[in-house]
Structure 1
């Protein structure tokens, strides 16, 4: 098996790199590891407090194990994720990884949550580069484009500014992300050929497989597909979901039932969820948050070793008896945001 361009002899665990699959990132010319590292769990806000030293050690181990794609965003801890990843990348050869960050979504406060203006877009990229300690990022993504009422500012200010930053060498490729699928299709159709990457999260999981319906369109557009959050933002794990999770009580109850079945069988639901998500063949990479080396090991084991016979039996049971219909929380966050903004406008 040929080694990827990101491989550095003496730095990487060569045996693990040889076992990792590397896939083309759409039309970019990059080849990325099938398993990639998400930065949301390094925020210190979304998934509880973190141990910074452990996070840095996890980043080191992930890259040395063959993971060469890392994703983060200013929104993740309002810069904390980028700060920790920047510390984790110190001393790591730049040619050993690709990194993606985002623009457009910034804080958890409704009034200042989104800003797709050209000015803020440039400021955001410059700040991200400073926090990451880099001269450029490989992929820049417009974050959660379902929230603005129109795409006008996104397409007339944010995207052109990113293209200028690309011309300046500060970003290499441009992507877009959202939770609902239809807005992604609409914005891509509005400016054909101007995006390189599309990030879809929690859309190919044990709960919801709606990404499959849009894959033919994304492929027609020659886009790299990043399949993120196979654990459905923590729902499909042995832990209770975070208080902020927008899923309904019905969805949470289904996931608790699955977690209890796994617990009784001494099986980890998170491992099953990761394995299930990664069976989809079309995406370039499967992005998941792993804030500790223990979680990294579980996810790599799921990829490298597959499932035991018991785990296969439990997964089959879950698919046949628990996850029997498609479930999602589309529209919940958007409704909350629009209601909050209307309330603020009346003040």
Structure 2
């Protein structure tokens, strides 16, 4: 297993990390027993960082991890959770207030069955009424949690990497980590552009969703995926090309992402042992010759003619539209 320093935190984290979003409900149903086995299998094989959030299944991810981690020595893993994003209901989805943040930290610790988390993060800061709210209301509560021993470090997460940069630049409270998703993939390398800045500040960089939330898989994304139809069609064409060769596009995408330099670790959503083993195999053994050839062909045939296939701003736009409709 490859380990990297997470910025100036002093944490040595596994390059492959366990993403708890797949323990929610966004990616379909799964066996709780199998998911618990997957968590323990990953830990036994050297994965030492786990990411979760209240939003993932509205507490289900944290609760299941609490069960999976029972009896596991606390020094065997690092874990991070989040505040500010909670439920699917638009009117109650986000709450960056100090009062809700304080409650959320204690509630997460209760579900996880822990005295502290290693990283407490503000979830999707681009949805805050303003960055000032994050800086002046949310982060001070996280700082107090660190002082009280409920967390060790503070992080911010979001899809637009530029917003994470602004938070680091403007926060008077030390931000130790940033987390962005689907921005270090076969179709979008935006995160790489910002890594020198974060490294210069001693901020640990966490990447997530190397398969772009299902977009870069043979099975394709869920119906809620926010990519444009043009991007979805492009990725579907690449997936069909892979299917013709009996190759899984998701493996190619993960090989590409795990091979990138810069992020200390990459979170991968996993809820069964087969997915855990596949990702460990990619990290430790790479991909075979047919897969390497197919990866190069996919890059050339489908992705070389496009620059950045992202959907930045679309989710926030839809959220604000829905919120406005509710208020009428």
Same-fold call, TM cutoff 0.5: yes
Task: Please state how far the C-alpha of 1:149 moved relative to its aligned partner.
Answer: 3.1
Report the Cα distance in structure 2 between the residues aligned to 1:269 and 1:85, rounded to whole angstroms.
29
Alignment partner, residue 330 of structure 1: 312
3-state SS in 1 of match to 2:303: coil
3-state SS in 1 of match to 2:127: coil
Report the Cα distance in structure 2 between the residues aligned to 1:264 and 1:305, rounded to whole angstroms.
24
Residue 41 in structure 1 maps to residue 22 in structure 2: yes
Alignment partner, residue 248 of structure 2: 268
Quick one: which of 251, 260, 267 aligns to 1:287? 267
Alignment partner, residue 297 of structure 1: 277
Task: Please state how far the C-alpha of 1:198 moved relative to its aligned partner.
Answer: 0.3
Residue 22 in structure 1 maps to residue 3 in structure 2: yes
Per-residue CA deviations over 1:115-156 (Å, capped at 9, x if unaligned) read 011111111010100110100000011000011231222111
Quick one: which of 68, 86, 89 aligns to 1:109? 89
Task: Please state how far the C-alpha of 1:193 moved relative to its aligned partner.
Answer: 6.0
3-state SS in 2 of match to 1:266: coil
Say what the alpha-carbon RMSD is for the aligned residues: 1.0
Alignment partner, residue 199 of structure 1: 179
Residue 257 in structure 1 maps to residue 237 in structure 2: yes
Q: Residues 193 and 320 from structure 1, CA distance in 2 versus in 1: closer, same or farther, beyond 3 angstroms?
A: farther
Residue 342 in structure 1 maps to residue 324 in structure 2: yes
Per-residue CA deviations over 1:171-202 (Å, capped at 9, x if unaligned) read 00000011012111111111156100000110
3-state SS in 1 of match to 2:154: strand
Alignment partner, residue 190 of structure 2: 210
Report the Cα distance in structure 2 between the residues aligned to 1:90 and 1:271, rounded to whole angstroms.
31
3-state SS in 2 of match to 1:99: strand
Per-residue CA deviations over 1:83-131 (Å, capped at 9, x if unaligned) read 1111110111111000000000001111001001111111101010011
Task: Please state how far the C-alpha of 1:237 moved relative to its aligned partner.
Answer: 1.1
Q: TM-score, normalised by structure 2?
A: 0.97
Per-residue CA deviations over 1:20-49 (Å, capped at 9, x if unaligned) read 011101111110001000000000x20001
Report the Cα distance in structure 2 between the residues aligned to 1:167 and 1:142, rounded to whole angstroms.
17
Report the Cα distance in structure 1 between the residues aligned to 2:207 and 2:133, rounded to whole angstroms.
26
Task: Please state how far the C-alpha of 1:240 moved relative to its aligned partner.
Answer: 2.5
Q: Which runs of 5 or more residues in structure 1 are unaligned?
A: 1-19
Q: TM-score, normalised by structure 1?
A: 0.92
- Give the count of matched residue pairs: 326
Which residues of 2 match residues 47-62 of structure 1 at below 5 A? 47-62=27-42
